[in-house]
Amino acid sequence: MEVTLTALLISSVVGFVLSFLVENIPSFAARWNAFEFKGLAVAGSGLAVCIALVILSYAGAPVVGVPKPLVWDGLSTALGVFVAYLMATQTAYQLQAGNLRRKQGPRHDETVTE
C-alpha cells in the first residue's frame, strides 16, 4: 500500500492533530483557555503550515500537489491547503466539543423581559 503525501492531506492531518492536542494536554489547555485570540492563532498556524508546505515542496521534499511555478495555480492550491487546515481544526474541535473541560457560558443575557 502506498500513501501519497499531498499538501492537502498533510495540512489536514497537522491541523487535526494540533487542534486535538491543544485541548487535551493539561498544561497547555489551561493557557489556551485563557488565551483571547484563539481564532487568530489557529489562522496564523494554518498560514505557517501552508507556507512551510510550499517551501518544502520547492526545496525538493516529496510533497505532491503544489504546482510550479507558484503563480495562479499555486496560489489557489495554497488557498485550498489553508482551507483544508482550517476545516480539520474545526472538525477536531467539533468531535471533542462535548467533552471539553472548560465551561462555556452564554454570550448574551438569557433573562426574559416583558
Quick count: other Cβ atoms within 10 Å of Cβ 95?
A: 12
Measure the CA–CA gap between 103 and 91, rounded to whole angstroms: 20
pLDDT band, residue 22 (cuts 50/70/90): confident
Q: What is the pLDDT of residues 56-87, one digit of tens each?
A: 888 887 777 777 777 777 788 888 888 999 99
Kindly tell me the burial class for residue 3, based on how many C-beta atoms sit within 10 Å of its own C-beta (0-12, 13-18, 19 or more).
Answer: exposed
- Chain centroid offset of residue 64 CA: 19
Which residue would you say has higher pLDDT here, 37 or 111?
A: 37
Measure the CA–CA gap between 88 and 12, rounded to whole angstroms: 5
Backbone angles phi, psi at 20, to 5 degrees: -70, -45
Amino acid 48: pLDDT: 92
| Reported pTM | 0.72
Which residue would you say has higher pLDDT here, 72 or 102?
A: 72
Measure the CA–CA gap between 107 and 27, rounded to whole angstroms: 26
Query: Length of the chain in residues, anyone?
Result: 114
- Does the pLDDT at position 101 exceed 70? no
Which residue would you say has higher pLDDT here, 33 or 44?
A: 44
